[in-house]
């Protein structure tokens, strides 16, 4: 059973949003629904369920401020972002390579075991370079 949560009034939520927006403008960060919900001790989902208009306003403000930001990105910032992306991709590909190498090793061991079982079942031994005797003189 879930516990009953006392919900704040819409006026209190809007006042808290104004304070959060003021603090966000000072720090350069955007206010979020999660930050507002935490201020009242609510989960993100509960807040969105009971205050959908406020959550929608916050999301819309984030979208419009992101599209309105016409600050040019420097060449250095682009290189830093590309480098970070390449590092993430390299790490991901290295992990895939390690998994593939481990799988190849496992398949090699399975193949050798199956060959031994086949030789034992058929009674025919493979003639390999390691079994040959040197020619007699």
Phi, psi of 135 (to 5 degrees): -65, 140
pLDDT top residue among 74 and 98:
98
Confidence (pLDDT) at 65? 64
CA dihedral (13, 16, 21, 23) in degrees, to 10, reads -160
DSSP class of 124: -
pLDDT band, very low/low/confident/very high, at 132 (cuts 50, 70, 90) = low
What is the gyration radius of the CA atoms in the chain, in angstroms?
Answer: 32
The share of the chain scoring above pLDDT 70, in percent, equals: 82
pLDDT top residue among 115 and 65:
115
Is pLDDT above 90 for 92? Answer: yes
Cβ atoms of residues 30 and 62 within 8 Å: yes
pTM score, whole prediction: 0.44
């Amino acid at each position: 059973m879930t516990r009953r949560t006392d919900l704040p009034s819409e006026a209190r939520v809007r006042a808290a949003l104004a304070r959060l927006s003021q603090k966000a403008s000072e720090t350069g960060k955007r206010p979020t629904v999660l930050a507002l919900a935490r201020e009242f001790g609510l989960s993100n989902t509960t807040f969105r369920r009971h205050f959908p208009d406020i959550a929608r306003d916050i999301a819309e403000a984030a979208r419009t401020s992101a599209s309105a930001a016409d600050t040019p990105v420097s060449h250095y910032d682009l290189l830093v972002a590309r480098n970070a992306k390449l590092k993430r991709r390299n790490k991901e590909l290295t992990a895939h390579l390690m998994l593939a190498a481990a799988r190849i090793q496992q398949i090699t061991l399975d193949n050798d075991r199956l060959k031994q079982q086949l030789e034992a079942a058929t009674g025919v031994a493979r003639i390999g370079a390691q079994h040959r005797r040197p020619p007699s003189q």
